[in-house]
Amino acid sequence: MAVHLRLTRMGRHKRPFYRVVATDSRMPRDGRFLEVIGTYDPLKESDKASFKEDRVLDWLKKGAQPSDTVRSLLRKTGIYKALQDSKAG
């Protein structure tokens, strides 16, 4: 089973809110998921993304592949750098 970290859309019409989830790559975007590992609110001015850092790092170490958007959010919050540091040292 290939696990991906990606966004699933929540919220109402024209007020999107996203959950960052670990899911099987074969599942639909808003379908069944394994675990909620964070949130992303593009309409907020500050603190747009928040993650459960320990769970994100655990999934990435197990080989989960983040989507392009999730990867950029992880870079902005500094979690991706923490993963790179743990691999190097």
Give the total number of structural domains in the chain: 1
CATH number of the domain that 57 lies in? 3.30.1320.10
Quote the CA–CA distance of 38 and 33 in Å, as a whole number. Answer: 13
Q: Kindly report, residue by residue over 6-21, the tens digit of the pLDDT.
A: 999 999 999 999 999 9
89 has pLDDT over 90? no
Q: Kindly report, residue by residue over 23-70, the tens digit of the pLDDT.
A: 999 998 888 999 999 999 999 888 899 999 999 999 999 999 999 999
Quote the CA–CA distance of 72 and 66 in Å, as a whole number. Answer: 9
Full domain range(s) for residue 78 = 3-88
pLDDT of residue 28: 87
Count other C-beta atoms under 10 Å from residue 41's C-beta. Answer: 16
